[in-house]
């Protein structure tokens, strides 16, 4: 059980904040063979077995394990006076704004703030994170094996439009209302392809993915209660 960072887009950060997202799928790198079979050790660690069910070995590329705590990295910014400073040179007491929803962390300051340049999620320091995830399940599977309930747990956005009787989920690949009432898996497919198709891991390629399930707490990981000791 370790503490590790994890990156999310602004859209998925909002899903975490809304309580809609308790799963994330990440492309398995390197991919395993088409004829390989996936199994699990008693502790839940995924393993790959050859096509005859003989040789077994842990799967390379599974970044997180059950019990790991993940601190979410998201797009952010601090005051313009610090725009030339890299994150490592910040004190950890600067007021900051989260780009996903515009929320601010002022550390007790009451006066209004002016903020500088946008900073990518990959450069968010640990002290600035506001969301902590605890991994509860890890599965290795084909992308298209996702269930309707798992697609909902990925945080897809519900959509009803002007007719509450026509409810469904957002089509992430269109800007018009035409075709927005999608069932969960089809909605997730459009979300996945909007993020991964250009990288060669689209829905049609049906890549191997790692499906992580987690709990979400709106708290910095270092303000979290200590891990239990044996």
Closest CA to 150 of 113, 202, 188: 188
Q: Is 132 exposed, middle or buried (0-12, 13-18, 19+ CB in 10 A)?
A: buried
Q: List per-residue pLDDT tens for the chain, 230 residues long.
A: 899 999 999 999 999 999 999 999 999 999 988 767 888 877 788 888 776 656 678 888 999 999 999 999 999 999 999 999 999 999 998 999 999 999 999 887 776 789 999 999 999 999 999 999 999 999 999 999 999 999 999 999 987 666 666 678 988 988 666 666 889 999 999 999 999 999 999 999 999 999 999 999 999 999 966 655 54
- The three-class DSSP label of residue 37 is strand
Residue 123 phi, psi (nearest 5): -105, 10
Q: Name the class of domain 3-73+129-151+201-223.
A: mainly beta
Pinpoint the residues of the chain covered by CATH 2.30.130.
3-73+129-151+201-223
Q: What is the pTM of this model?
A: 0.89
**Do residues 187 and 151 lie in contact, with contact meaning Cβ atoms separated by under 8 Å?**
yes
């Amino acid at each position: 059980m370790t503490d590790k960072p994890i990156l999310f887009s602004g859209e998925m950060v909002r899903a975490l904040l809304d309580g809609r997202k308790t799963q994330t799928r990440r492309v398995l790198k390197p991919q395993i063979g088409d004829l390989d079979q996936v199994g699990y050790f008693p502790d839940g660690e995924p393993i790959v077995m050859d096509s005859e069910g003989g040789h077994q070995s842990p799967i390379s590329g599974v970044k997180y394990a059950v019990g790991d705590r993940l601190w979410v990295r998201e797009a952010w910014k601090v005051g313009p006076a610090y725009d030339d400073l890299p994150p490592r040179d910040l004190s950890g007491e600067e007021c900051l704004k989260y780009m996903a929803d515009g929320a601010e962390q002022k550390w007790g300051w009451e006066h209004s703030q002016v903020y500088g340049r946008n900073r990518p999620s990959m450069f968010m320091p640990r002290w600035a994170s506001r969301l902590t995830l605890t991994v509860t399940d890890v599965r290795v599977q084909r992308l298209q094996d996702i269930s309707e309930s798992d697609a909902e747990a990925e945080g897809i956005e519900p959509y009803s439009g002007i007719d509450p009787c026509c409810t469904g989920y957002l089509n992430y690949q269109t800007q018009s209302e035409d075709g927005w009432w999608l069932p969960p898996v089809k909605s997730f497919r459009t979300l996945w392809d909007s993020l991964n198709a250009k990288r060669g891991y689209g829905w049609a390629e049906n890549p191997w993915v790692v499906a992580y399930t987690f709990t979400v707490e709106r708290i910095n990981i270092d303000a979290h209660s200590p891990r239990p000791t044996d």
